[in-house]
Structure 1
């Protein structure tokens, strides 16, 4: 078979095989060093990503448009006024009166639901 086209996929050169084996013992320490380097690079990459995300969050907070200040409506309680009457006069049209009264109680920190003449109440804005 002088003119055969067959070529083996296995290395037939014994000298090359021995040379590769010698490099293999040297290559193990290089492999460990490369793994350590890759681990450090991975940790550095994760740190950069975390710092980037945190920085973007901080910038987003500072770049957010300011919330317009809502003027608080204050009301001086007149003699004979009750929370129910005040709520009916000042609540939004479709809101339940009891919900608006609860808002008045919370915004003013009232412990009991009674009000006295001359008392100044803040009215919630909905």
Structure 2
């Protein structure tokens, strides 16, 4: 086996340039990593902000207070549709008003019984 070689590279070996290139490469790598982490952090903050705004919007929805409801006793033969049609605001869709009645009274089905007391929302 050969112990020594007479091989000489055709490229000049400049160690200073090599070290500078490595330092620049490390700096560029760190800059890329930092930028990537900052971008991910920014995306997380934006998603959290949007989600928080959505949650606040849901909880900030107006709810009917005690003074915003009218009580009505259901008469024999009354239907939810008739009650809604007679008590809803003029330009409101009857179906929307029925949903309001169902929501504030916690009705599971759409049927009403004579003598039942319903809260009617005032929009």
Q: From the CA coordinates, give the structure whose radius of gyration is larger.
A: 1
